[in-house]
Amino acid sequence: MTPIIEVHHLSKRYRIGRAQSYFSLRDSINHFFTKPLFLRNRPRQFWSLHNLSFQVEPGQVLGIIGSNGAGKSTLLKILSRITPPTKGTVDLHGRVASLLEVGTGFHPELTGRENIFLNGAILGMSQKEIRAKFDEITSFAEIDNFLDTPVKHYSSGMYMRLAFAVAAHLEPEILLVDEVLAVGDHQFQRKCLGKMRDVSRGGRTVIFVSHNLESIKSLCTQALLLDKGRIIASGSPQDVVSRYINNNLQENQVDTGRYPILAQDNSLTLLSFSLLNSRHKPSHTLISGNEIHWSASLKFNRLPQSFNFVIALENENNSRVVTIASQPSLSASVITKTGRFTLAGSCPGINLQPGYYRCAVGIRFNDQTVLYQPSLGFITIRDNSTSMYPGQNGLVRTDSVWHISHEH
Amino acid sequence: MSYNYHIKPRTDLFSLDLKELYDFRELFFIFAWRDIKVRYKQTVIGILWVVFQPLVTMLIFTIFFGRLARIPSGSLPYSLFVLTGLVFWNFFANSLTHASLSLVENENIIKKVYFPKIILPLAAVVTTSVDLAINLAILFLYALYLGFTPSWQVLLIIPIGLIVIATAASGLGLLLASVNVKYRDVRYILPFFIQIMLFLSPVIYGSDLIDPSQRIFMAINPTSGVIETVRRLFTQSNFTFSPDFAVSALVAVVIFLIGLAYFRHTERFFADIV
């Protein structure tokens, strides 16, 4: 069979060292006068992808995994032609549609009906195609009664359902999916997974980027592991996923990866984050029931009225087992100027079942979620050796004291 | 399979893929339709703003420039004289503004989906022509009301004039839109630039106020040819193509080519830096 996607020696370079995504003319002019050309540092360069080559056969579902900054999103952006590569080529033998973010181009003032046509066109459907699938889309989204209501009056659930419904009815030969499953309620997520399975059964090729390792294992036929812009493993999803988990466990700590994470609204930057063991050392192995500490370094670009830091642990089945959130009063008294702050905390111990857990962090700034990183790495929870009894299962465990006495 | 894409580093600078533009024609019209639909939502009197804007400006200009400053308006009443100028001028200014801001306003789409970006500024110009059509209707109703019946040649001269204006506005819009992706200063500079251009155009005064030796500079302005000609056609029916018109058209084409080249040159980085 001839491959439907052929990637040859693909590399992508970004220039970094610029805090803002756009510049003001004044900065450039200032820069021009204060630093003559010959004194100026060359902008730091950063290879987001490094000499990637792979092929995808028609009908394959290729899962791509890797830590923050591994180059997953860059790869999808090149495949969907949003950004050109610096070197190398890609050949695609089929129409490509990407779900880099569902709801792209939705306009709040337009009605559901109008947005279906607008969004469909943006995602690459012809008006004829949209008209043909219109009823299917509206029934999938379950919004029949609100078709002529502007979407700004929709609940967020309805909005998401409509956005996904349009995207789900694309019929490209190649579908690129990035983290769409992270949104929406549980039932809706299942519906989405079902739809993706249908798409791939229909013989179409899917590239699926996710932190959800279980869905990678259950949906994909092949997987790639990216690390620092290179492919370090490829093959069956089971093997690649376990390689990924092992790699992560060998690294010392849960961390922010290759570069700091900038909040969506530029209000702050998460410079680093680590989970620490009860002796305050960065560690990937924690003992169930022992104290957990953490430390984060943040750079505030604006002063928050309110600020929340949330750490979540999710188990192998992708269930969230615990969420640790900072108290709302944390910011007001301390963060009175912008700049770098260290945020540290601890909790007395969580009685988690042994196993590996994915660590996610989120930041709310003035009651808006401005940063969410679903996977900063994995930790292993080990048993404290005294408490191994047969018959203990469930999400959490607890110490217990039992007595037995003879009934008189 | 009928679709084949070859993705490679972009090195071709000045190519314009007309076939691709044709393939994306539906998206082009959808963008134009969206902008028209959204423009006057959440305003109380909606589309009537398109009617009020030129009429109110005409009233103010007539009071200050016509009555107080006594700017000569030839054989036309000053109000009709200035309204003729405003209708075409507004088309230029609004097209230019919308085109220049179009990329940044659609930033979320540019970052997520591939399409030839050039359709955004071009759709913005098309959107503005809806306002223009309404304004032209107002202009001719007002002229008839005052008893001026334009000669039939306006039907010939207006389309040509509008093509010249649209070409110049698109060219300048393409240029400023791509600069705006990197330097958001464009948003703040643009109103000043448009105001200065207004005073350099024969909108509130006629070009016969300018020394004939310098009139060629006036002709560089893409709006001047059509404004002057339409004014003449309200009172005279003998129509000659003035050389001014040819200069305006030539300048418009040059501006368009420069804007297009710059746009194509910077387009590949839009998604990375917008």
Query: What ipTM did this prediction achieve?
Result: 0.85
- Looking up tokens 């970052």 gives B111
Q: Helix, strand, coil shares of chain B as percentages rounded to 5?
A: 75, 0, 25
Q: What is the pLDDT of residue B145?
A: 93
Q: Kindly indicate whether the domain formed by A261-386 is annotated with CATH number 3.40.50.620.
A: no
The greatest distance separating any two alpha carbons of chain A, rounded to the nearest whole angstrom, comes to 96
Beta-carbon separation of A82 and B114 below 8 A: yes
- Beta bridge pairs of residue B199: none
Which pLDDT band, with edges at 50, 70 and 90, does A34 fall under? low
Cβ–Cβ < 8 Å for B248, B227: no
**By C-alpha distance, which of B20, B16, B15 is closest to B5?**
B20
Taking one residue from A and the other from B, the number of pairs with CB-CB distance under 8 angstroms is 113
Among A341, A376, A340, residue whose Cα is nearest residue A255: A376
H/E stretch holding A73: helix A72-79
pLDDT in tens, A89-107: 999 998 888 776 677 889 9
Instruction: Give the separation between CA A38 and CA A22, rounded to whole angstroms.
Output: 24
CA distance B23 to A229: 34
CA distance B1 to chain A (A): 6
DSSP B118: T
Chain A residues inside the 8 Å CB shell of B35: none
How distant is the Cα of A165 from the closest Cα of chain B, in angstroms? 17
pTM: 0.76
Identify the helix (H) or strand (E) that includes residue A97: strand A96-99
**Token pair 């989204």 is at which residue?**
A141
Instruction: Compare CB distances from A89 to B7, B182, B183 and report the shortest one's residue.
Output: B7
Q: Is A48's pLDDT higher than 50?
A: yes
Contact residues for A367 (Cβ-Cβ < 8 A; gap 6+): A306
Choose among B98, B220, B109, B102: nearest CA to B168.
B220
Q: If pLDDT is split at 50, 70 and 90, which confidence band does A8 have?
A: very high
Q: What is the pLDDT of residue A239?
A: 93
State pLDDT tens for residues B222-241. Answer: 888 888 888 888 887 776 76
State pLDDT tens for residues B166-200: 999 999 999 999 999 988 888 899 999 999 999 88
Name the E strands within A228-354: 230-235, 261-262, 268-276, 285-287, 292-300, 307-314, 320-325, 339-347
Give the count of alpha carbons within 13 A of A338, CB side only: 8
CB-CB under 8 Å, A25 with B185:
yes
Contacts of A217 (CB under 8 A, 6+ apart): A237, A238, A241
pLDDT for residue A386 is more than 60:
no
CB spacing of A93 vs B4 below 8 angstroms: yes
* Min distance A62 CA to chain B CA atoms (Å): 19
C-beta separation of A93 from B4 below 8 A: yes
Distances (CA, A) of B6 to A8, B15, B58: 11, 16, 54
CA distances from A379 to A251, A288, B67 (A): 10, 11, 81
Interchain CB distance below 8 Å, B38 and A123: no
Among A165, A402, A381, smallest CA distance to A287 is for: A381
A225 sits in which H/E element: strand A222-227
Pick the CATH number of A5-248 from 3.40.50.2000, 3.40.228.10, 3.40.190.90, 3.40.50.300: 3.40.50.300
* Inter-chain touch A105–B274, beta carbons under 8 Å: no
Copy the structure tokens of residue B258: 């420069």
Q: What tokens were used for A213? A: 């390792």
Q: Find the CB nearest A110 among B3, B38, B113.
A: B38
What mean pLDDT, rounded, does chain B reach? 87
CA distances for A174 relative to A89, A93, A203, A390, B54, angstroms: 17, 9, 10, 48, 50
Judge contact between A308 and A366, C-beta under 8 A. Answer: no
Report angle CA B133, B136, B142 to the nearest 5 degrees.
145
Contacts for B97 with CB less than 8 Å, ≥ 6 apart: B190, B194
Q: Report chain B residues whose CB lies below 8 A from the CB of A123.
A: 113
In sequence order, the β-bridge partners of residue A345 are A294
Residue-range domain boundaries for chain A:
5-248, 261-386
Inter-chain contact A121–B26, Cβ cutoff 8 Å?
yes
| Cβ separation A107–B38 shorter than 8 A | yes
Is the pLDDT higher at B47 or at A327?
Answer: A327
Tokens matching residue A320: 């969230």
Q: What is the DSSP letter of B191?
A: H
Helix runs in A95-236, H state only: 112-122, 127-141, 156-168, 186-201, 213-219
Q: Which residue has the higher pLDDT, A379 or B45?
A: A379
B247/B146: higher pLDDT? B146
Distance from the Cα of B29 to chain A's closest Cα (Å) equals 10
Read off the pLDDT of each residue in A352-365 and give the average, rounded to a whole number.
85
B274 contact residues in A (CB cutoff 8 A): 21-22
Q: What is the arithmetic mean of pLDDT over B117-130?
A: 93
Partners of A95 on chain B (C-beta within 8 Å) are: 3
Structure tokens at B60: 């103010």
- Tell me what percent of the residues of chain B surpass a pLDDT of 90: 43
Distance from CA of B6 to the nearest CA of A (A): 5
Buried b (16+ CB within 10 A) or exposed e, A157-182: ebbbbbbbbbbbbbebbbbbbbbbbe
* Coil vs helix vs strand at A233: strand
